[in-house]
Protein backbone atom coordinates (compact mmCIF):
# COMPACT_ATOMS: atom_id res chain seq x y z
CA UNK A 1 0.00 0.00 0.00
CA UNK A 2 3.00 2.35 0.09
CA UNK A 3 2.90 5.08 -2.53
CA UNK A 4 6.25 4.05 -4.01
CA UNK A 5 4.78 0.63 -4.78
CA UNK A 6 1.35 1.81 -5.89
CA UNK A 7 2.72 4.21 -8.51
CA UNK A 8 6.06 2.62 -9.35
CA UNK A 9 7.04 2.55 -13.06
CA UNK A 10 10.80 2.17 -12.56
CA UNK A 11 12.46 0.01 -15.21
CA UNK A 12 9.42 -0.08 -17.48
CA UNK A 13 9.75 0.30 -21.25
CA UNK A 14 7.37 2.89 -22.66
CA UNK A 15 6.45 3.95 -26.20
CA UNK A 16 4.99 7.46 -26.59
CA UNK A 17 3.98 8.42 -30.12
CA UNK A 18 4.22 12.12 -30.81
CA UNK A 19 6.37 12.28 -27.68
CA UNK A 20 8.53 15.29 -28.49
CA UNK A 21 6.13 18.15 -27.79
CA UNK A 22 2.84 19.11 -26.18
CA UNK A 23 1.01 16.47 -24.16
CA UNK A 24 3.27 13.74 -25.53
CA UNK A 25 6.36 15.48 -24.18
CA UNK A 26 4.66 16.00 -20.81
CA UNK A 27 3.85 12.28 -20.52
CA UNK A 28 7.33 11.31 -21.70
CA UNK A 29 8.93 13.56 -19.09
CA UNK A 30 6.77 12.05 -16.35
CA UNK A 31 7.88 8.51 -17.14
CA UNK A 32 11.54 9.47 -17.53
CA UNK A 33 11.50 11.31 -14.21
CA UNK A 34 10.27 8.12 -12.56
CA UNK A 35 12.83 5.68 -13.89
CA UNK A 36 11.30 4.39 -17.14
CA UNK A 37 12.93 4.07 -20.57
CA UNK A 38 10.91 5.89 -23.23
CA UNK A 39 10.83 5.63 -27.03
CA UNK A 40 9.36 8.67 -28.78
CA UNK A 41 8.32 9.27 -32.38
CA UNK A 42 7.60 12.23 -34.64
CA UNK A 43 7.86 12.95 -38.35
CA UNK A 44 10.57 15.63 -38.19
CA UNK A 45 13.86 13.97 -37.30
CA UNK A 46 16.13 16.87 -36.17
CA UNK A 47 13.80 18.34 -33.49
CA UNK A 48 12.85 14.83 -32.36
CA UNK A 49 16.50 13.81 -31.90
CA UNK A 50 17.25 17.05 -30.09
CA UNK A 51 14.27 16.61 -27.76
CA UNK A 52 15.28 13.03 -26.91
CA UNK A 53 18.80 14.23 -26.05
CA UNK A 54 17.43 17.10 -23.97
CA UNK A 55 15.03 14.90 -21.99
CA UNK A 56 17.63 12.17 -21.45
CA UNK A 57 20.02 14.70 -19.95
CA UNK A 58 17.37 16.48 -17.88
CA UNK A 59 16.07 13.34 -16.20
CA UNK A 60 19.24 11.22 -16.34
CA UNK A 61 17.21 8.57 -18.13
CA UNK A 62 17.04 6.91 -21.53
CA UNK A 63 14.84 8.64 -24.12
CA UNK A 64 15.24 7.17 -27.61
CA UNK A 65 14.01 8.90 -30.77
CA UNK A 66 12.59 7.01 -33.76
CA UNK A 67 11.60 9.43 -36.55
CA UNK A 68 8.73 8.13 -38.72
CA UNK A 69 5.33 8.97 -40.17
CA UNK A 70 2.74 6.98 -38.25
CA UNK A 71 -0.10 8.04 -40.54
CA UNK A 72 1.02 5.38 -43.03
CA UNK A 73 1.31 1.59 -42.68
CA UNK A 74 4.87 1.83 -43.99
CA UNK A 75 5.76 4.24 -41.21
CA UNK A 76 4.14 2.01 -38.61
CA UNK A 77 6.00 -1.04 -39.94
CA UNK A 78 9.30 0.82 -39.74
CA UNK A 79 8.58 2.01 -36.20
CA UNK A 80 7.60 -1.49 -35.09
CA UNK A 81 10.75 -2.94 -36.64
CA UNK A 82 12.94 -0.41 -34.84
CA UNK A 83 11.33 -1.18 -31.46
CA UNK A 84 11.51 -4.94 -32.06
CA UNK A 85 15.23 -4.74 -32.86
CA UNK A 86 15.89 -2.93 -29.59
CA UNK A 87 13.49 -4.59 -27.12
CA UNK A 88 12.20 -8.09 -26.43
CA UNK A 89 9.06 -6.57 -24.90
CA UNK A 90 7.45 -3.28 -23.95
CA UNK A 91 5.26 -2.44 -20.98
CA UNK A 92 3.24 0.63 -21.98
CA UNK A 93 2.08 2.06 -25.31
CA UNK A 94 0.85 5.66 -25.25
CA UNK A 95 -0.95 6.40 -28.54
CA UNK A 96 -0.63 10.17 -28.48
CA UNK A 97 0.35 11.25 -32.03
CA UNK A 98 -2.38 13.36 -33.54
CA UNK A 99 -3.30 16.12 -35.95
CA UNK A 100 -6.07 18.70 -36.27
CA UNK A 101 -7.64 20.50 -39.21
CA UNK A 102 -10.01 23.44 -39.23
CA UNK A 103 -12.10 24.68 -42.16
CA UNK A 104 -15.65 25.94 -42.63
CA UNK A 105 -18.20 23.24 -43.34
CA UNK A 106 -18.75 24.47 -46.91
CA UNK A 107 -15.02 24.27 -47.72
CA UNK A 108 -13.90 21.34 -45.61
CA UNK A 109 -11.51 19.25 -47.71
CA UNK A 110 -10.95 15.55 -48.17
CA UNK A 111 -7.29 16.22 -47.39
CA UNK A 112 -8.23 17.63 -44.00
CA UNK A 113 -10.52 14.70 -43.32
CA UNK A 114 -8.11 11.94 -44.33
CA UNK A 115 -4.99 13.42 -42.72
CA UNK A 116 -6.68 13.63 -39.33
CA UNK A 117 -8.49 10.29 -39.44
CA UNK A 118 -5.37 8.44 -40.62
CA UNK A 119 -3.15 9.70 -37.81
CA UNK A 120 -5.72 9.99 -35.02
CA UNK A 121 -7.62 6.74 -35.53
CA UNK A 122 -6.03 4.40 -38.07
CA UNK A 123 -2.57 4.66 -36.51
CA UNK A 124 -3.90 3.81 -33.04
CA UNK A 125 -5.55 0.63 -34.26
CA UNK A 126 -2.73 -0.65 -36.45
CA UNK A 127 0.11 0.35 -34.15
CA UNK A 128 -1.59 -1.43 -31.25
CA UNK A 129 -2.07 -4.43 -33.53
CA UNK A 130 1.59 -4.42 -34.59
CA UNK A 131 2.99 -3.94 -31.06
CA UNK A 132 0.65 -6.41 -29.36
CA UNK A 133 3.19 -9.23 -29.32
CA UNK A 134 5.74 -6.99 -27.59
CA UNK A 135 3.11 -5.89 -25.06
CA UNK A 136 2.23 -9.54 -24.35
CA UNK A 137 5.83 -10.47 -23.55
CA UNK A 138 5.84 -8.74 -20.16
CA UNK A 139 2.13 -8.95 -19.40
CA UNK A 140 0.91 -10.94 -16.40
CA UNK A 141 -2.34 -11.05 -14.44
CA UNK A 142 -0.64 -9.24 -11.55
CA UNK A 143 1.28 -6.76 -13.70
CA UNK A 144 -0.57 -6.28 -17.00
CA UNK A 145 0.77 -4.26 -19.89
CA UNK A 146 -1.07 -1.04 -20.72
CA UNK A 147 -2.25 0.94 -23.72
CA UNK A 148 -3.38 4.54 -23.28
CA UNK A 149 -5.09 6.27 -26.19
CA UNK A 150 -5.11 10.06 -26.09
CA UNK A 151 -8.56 11.30 -27.07
CA UNK A 152 -10.02 14.74 -26.39
CA UNK A 153 -12.96 16.45 -24.76
CA UNK A 154 -13.80 17.50 -28.33
CA UNK A 155 -14.80 13.86 -28.79
CA UNK A 156 -17.28 14.26 -25.90
CA UNK A 157 -18.55 17.80 -26.43
CA UNK A 158 -19.48 19.77 -29.54
CA UNK A 159 -16.20 21.59 -30.22
CA UNK A 160 -15.83 25.36 -30.20
CA UNK A 161 -14.05 25.41 -33.57
CA UNK A 162 -14.94 23.95 -36.98
CA UNK A 163 -12.68 20.91 -36.63
CA UNK A 164 -15.06 18.32 -38.01
CA UNK A 165 -12.61 15.49 -38.65
CA UNK A 166 -10.75 16.11 -35.37
CA UNK A 167 -13.76 15.87 -33.07
CA UNK A 168 -15.10 12.89 -35.02
CA UNK A 169 -11.72 11.15 -34.81
CA UNK A 170 -11.51 11.64 -31.05
CA UNK A 171 -14.99 10.22 -30.51
CA UNK A 172 -13.81 7.23 -32.54
CA UNK A 173 -10.72 6.94 -30.32
CA UNK A 174 -12.90 6.74 -27.21
CA UNK A 175 -15.05 3.97 -28.65
CA UNK A 176 -12.10 2.11 -30.16
CA UNK A 177 -10.61 2.15 -26.65
CA UNK A 178 -13.59 0.20 -25.31
CA UNK A 179 -13.51 -2.26 -28.19
CA UNK A 180 -9.77 -2.91 -27.82
CA UNK A 181 -10.11 -3.12 -24.03
CA UNK A 182 -12.70 -5.85 -24.38
CA UNK A 183 -10.42 -7.84 -26.68
CA UNK A 184 -7.05 -7.34 -24.99
CA UNK A 185 -8.01 -7.61 -21.31
CA UNK A 186 -8.16 -11.36 -21.89
CA UNK A 187 -4.44 -11.21 -22.72
CA UNK A 188 -3.48 -9.09 -19.68
CA UNK A 189 -3.23 -5.89 -21.72
CA UNK A 190 -5.34 -3.08 -20.30
CA UNK A 191 -6.58 -0.34 -22.62
CA UNK A 192 -7.85 3.05 -21.43
CA UNK A 193 -8.15 6.54 -22.88
CA UNK A 194 -7.48 10.03 -21.58
CA UNK A 195 -9.58 12.90 -22.95
CA UNK A 196 -7.58 16.06 -22.29
CA UNK A 197 -9.10 19.50 -22.19
CA UNK A 198 -7.00 22.62 -22.80
CA UNK A 199 -3.25 22.10 -22.37
CA UNK A 200 -0.48 24.30 -23.78
CA UNK A 201 0.48 22.78 -27.12
CA UNK A 202 1.33 23.71 -30.69
CA UNK A 203 -2.10 22.46 -31.78
CA UNK A 204 -4.14 24.55 -29.34
CA UNK A 205 -1.67 27.41 -29.41
CA UNK A 206 -2.10 27.89 -33.15
CA UNK A 207 -5.86 28.18 -32.68
CA UNK A 208 -5.63 30.86 -29.97
CA UNK A 209 -2.39 32.62 -31.01
CA UNK A 210 -0.71 31.11 -27.94
CA UNK A 211 -2.86 33.26 -25.63
CA UNK A 212 -4.42 30.86 -23.14
CA UNK A 213 -5.79 33.54 -20.81
CA UNK A 214 -9.41 33.46 -22.00
CA UNK A 215 -9.34 29.65 -22.04
CA UNK A 216 -8.07 29.62 -18.45
CA UNK A 217 -10.77 32.09 -17.39
CA UNK A 218 -13.51 29.94 -18.93
CA UNK A 219 -12.26 26.83 -17.14
CA UNK A 220 -13.81 25.85 -13.78
CA UNK A 221 -10.24 25.49 -12.39
CA UNK A 222 -9.29 28.92 -13.81
CA UNK A 223 -6.18 27.56 -15.51
CA UNK A 224 -5.04 25.29 -18.33
CA UNK A 225 -3.50 21.88 -17.75
CA UNK A 226 0.07 21.36 -16.55
CA UNK A 227 2.59 18.57 -17.20
CA UNK A 228 1.96 17.19 -13.72
CA UNK A 229 -1.77 16.84 -14.45
CA UNK A 230 -1.42 14.69 -17.56
CA UNK A 231 1.74 12.80 -16.56
CA UNK A 232 0.27 11.91 -13.17
CA UNK A 233 -2.86 10.48 -14.76
CA UNK A 234 -0.85 8.46 -17.29
CA UNK A 235 1.37 7.07 -14.53
CA UNK A 236 -1.70 6.14 -12.46
CA UNK A 237 -3.19 4.19 -15.37
CA UNK A 238 0.11 2.37 -15.96
CA UNK A 239 0.93 1.63 -12.32
CA UNK A 240 -0.33 -0.90 -9.79
CA UNK A 241 -2.85 1.72 -8.70
CA UNK A 242 -4.55 1.57 -12.11
CA UNK A 243 -4.43 -2.17 -12.68
CA UNK A 244 -8.20 -2.62 -12.17
CA UNK A 245 -9.22 0.23 -14.50
CA UNK A 246 -10.22 -1.05 -17.94
CA UNK A 247 -11.86 0.54 -20.98
CA UNK A 248 -12.33 3.96 -19.41
CA UNK A 249 -12.11 7.38 -21.02
CA UNK A 250 -10.96 9.71 -18.24
CA UNK A 251 -11.21 13.45 -18.76
CA UNK A 252 -8.37 15.73 -17.68
CA UNK A 253 -9.99 19.06 -18.31
CA UNK A 254 -10.46 21.03 -15.08
CA UNK A 255 -14.14 20.10 -15.02
CA UNK A 256 -15.22 21.42 -18.42
CA UNK A 257 -17.18 18.33 -19.45
CA UNK A 258 -18.82 17.45 -16.16
CA UNK A 259 -19.42 20.88 -14.63
CA UNK A 260 -22.66 22.46 -15.82
CA UNK A 261 -22.52 25.98 -17.14
CA UNK A 262 -18.94 25.93 -18.42
CA UNK A 263 -18.23 25.81 -22.13
CA UNK A 264 -15.45 27.14 -24.32
CA UNK A 265 -16.40 29.24 -27.28
For 2-122, where are the alpha helices, taking DSSP H only?
3-6, 22-33, 45-59, 73-86, 110-117
Q: Are 134 and 147 in contact (CB under 8 A)?
A: no
Crossing angle of helices 227-238 and 22-33, rounded to 10°: 60
> Looking at the DSSP assignment, which residues form a beta bridge with residue 39?
15, 64
Closest to 212 (Cα-Cα) out of 221, 228, 201, 220: 201
Give, as one character, the DSSP assignment of residue 142.
Answer: S
Distance separating alpha carbons of residues 112 and 103, to the nearest angstrom: 8
Residue 123 near residue 71, CB atoms below 8 Å: yes
Q: Is 166 a catalytic residue?
A: yes
Closest CA to 143 of 190, 192, 181: 190
Out of 166, 199, 212, 244, the active site residue is 166
Of 212, 206, 254, nearest to 230 (Cα)?
254
The CA distance from 250 to 192, in Å, is 8
Distance CA 180, CA 247 (A): 8
Catalytic residues: 166
Amino acid sequence: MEINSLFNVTGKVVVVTGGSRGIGEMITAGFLANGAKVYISARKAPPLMEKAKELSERYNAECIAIPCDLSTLEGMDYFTQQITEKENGIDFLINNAGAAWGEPLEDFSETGWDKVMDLNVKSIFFLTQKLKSLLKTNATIDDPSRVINIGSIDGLNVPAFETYSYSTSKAAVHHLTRVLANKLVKEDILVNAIAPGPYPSAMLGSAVNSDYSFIAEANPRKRVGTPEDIAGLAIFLCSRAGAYTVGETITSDGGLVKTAGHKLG
